[in-house]
Amino acid sequence: MIKRHSATAIFMHWFNAACWLLLLSTGFALLVNPEMQPVGQWWSRLWNGGIGPLALLRLHIAAGLTWVVGYLVYLTFRSKTEALPFIKEISSIHIDSDLLWCMRKGLWLILGEKLMRRFHLDPSLPPQGFYNAGQKLVAIIAVACSVGLALTGLALVFIAQRGDVTLLLQICLFLHFCCAGLMAIFLPVHIYMAAFAPGEGPALRSMFTGRIPLEHVHHHNELWYAELTENHNKQK
């Protein structure tokens, strides 16, 4: 077993997950326009009937502010050691191999290895680093949407208090909704790939324990395994 995640990284992952789920749940409940409601009017009626529209809005704002403050504190103390290395890792894109990985992984999940070979499709995946191509894609979208949600959310709170900037309010609402919509699409994909996709059990458990079997790394993260092996040989 080797260390994959620090205690603070694990905490922030689940803090982030809890905040996103609460924000998406309350945010969609705030959409009273049937044409913009992706879940259904029953969702708005459930929340509004349970705690009332004003309490619902306050809960959404409180959850958003808690999320923003939590990340500001995290970035204050962990920017150099965790946040910046994370951004560097997910932004190391290799178009050819990453695109090939996503295509083959998608086919493998749909068809399985046997059917892929029957159709003369190569099921082998290009070697991956600390994060695979799918994880990097979801992470980039999550970071971009998180920044967008935080900025537009704070702007909406400020603008709503003034009450005279209608056009800017509409623009911020539109961008806020777009970011939330993207998160609502990719969050279930991330949950499925992490919790239910075959062979991903050790990676999921590492988000609780912080450690992962070296054999799993060798099979799923060949480039990271090679880096670990090289560093180990240098220390001898």
- The predicted pLDDT at position 163 comes to 65
pLDDT score, position 206 = 92
DSSP secondary structure string for all residues of the chain: -EE-S-HHHHHHHHHHHHHHHHHHHHHHHT---GGG-SS-HHHHHHHHHHH-HHHHHHHHHHHHHHHHHHHHHHHHHHIIIIIHHHHHHHT---HHHHHHHHHHHHHHHHHHHHHHHHTT---------SS-HHHHHHHHHHHHHHHHHHHHHHHHHHHHHH---HHHHHHHHHHHHHHHHHHHHHHHHHHHHHHTSTT-HHHHHHHHHSEE-HHHHHHH-HHHHHHHHHHHHHH-
Q: Decide: pTM greater than 0.75.
A: yes
Give the pLDDT of residue 23. Answer: 93
pLDDT given at position 6: 92
Give the whole-angstrom CA distance, residue 185 versus residue 181: 6
Between CA 225 and CA 231 the distance in angstroms is 10
The per-residue pLDDT for 40 is: 81
**What distances in angstroms separate CA 101 from CA 136, 208, 211, one per listed residue?**
12, 26, 25
Running along the chain, 236 residues long, what does each successive block of 10 average in pLDDT? 92 94 91 79 88 92 94 93 93 88 89 89 90 90 93 87 76 90 88 82 90 91 89 72
Cβ burial of 203 (10 Å; 0-12, 13-18, 19+) is buried
Q: How far is CA 107 from CA 96, 148, 158, 167, 220, in A?
A: 17, 32, 46, 44, 17
